[in-house]
Amino acid sequence: KKHYAHDAPPAATLLDAIGEVIRFLGGDRGGLLAVDVKRNTVRPAYGWYHESLTERVPDTVNLAEAMPWAAQRVVRDRIPLVVNTLDDLPPEAHRDRASYVAQGIKSNLVAPIVIGGHVRYVISMGALRREVRWPPSCVCRLQLLGETIANTLERRRAIAALRVSER
């Protein structure tokens, strides 16, 4: 069962792809997060959740505030983040650790999606039921999937804007 943060989901096959990859890699939830660098926000845009999870991350939550160390690393520094266990977080990520614990996150993988020279999205995958050790190859695969989906979304937005301007 799919759950979307937006009123109208993008092509269902794109989110099905996210769900299949997350499930295959041992994750319980994940999706695409929208980044607004000027406002320092990272918010859920499109998400997939394992059917056993009833709680959803509201699209009003600013994950850059909840997890500032991770946001700096992924958005500003453009470095993917792999947290196989909470012990992987450095001491300076104490606020991030508290957010992970509050959300029940045991493992997390987050990668920046760069479009037009700027980080516009982040793709994220989390494990809540058990810790997962993701090999480095997972980062590249998840990032490629995120880039494909983000570029499709951007193309759809551009086409919609063009149609509006032609009226």
pTM for this model (two decimals): 0.85
Looking at residue 1, its pLDDT comes to: 45
Q: What is the largest CA-CA distance in the chain?
A: 55
C-alpha distances out from residue 92 to 72, 122, 131, Å: 12, 21, 22
* pLDDT tens-place values along the chain, 167 residues long: 444 444 444 556 777 888 888 999 999 999 999 999 999 999 998 888 999 998 889 889 999 999 999 999 999 999 999 999 999 999 999 999 999 999 999 999 999 999 989 999 999 999 999 999 998 888 888 888 888 888 888 888 888 888 888 88
Looking at residue 82, its pLDDT comes to: 96
Amino acid at 62: N
Looking at residue 72, its pLDDT comes to: 96
First-to-final CA distance of the chain: 37
Task: Please count the other Cβ atoms lying within 10 Å of the Cβ belonging to residue 147.
Answer: 17
Looking at residue 30, its pLDDT comes to: 93
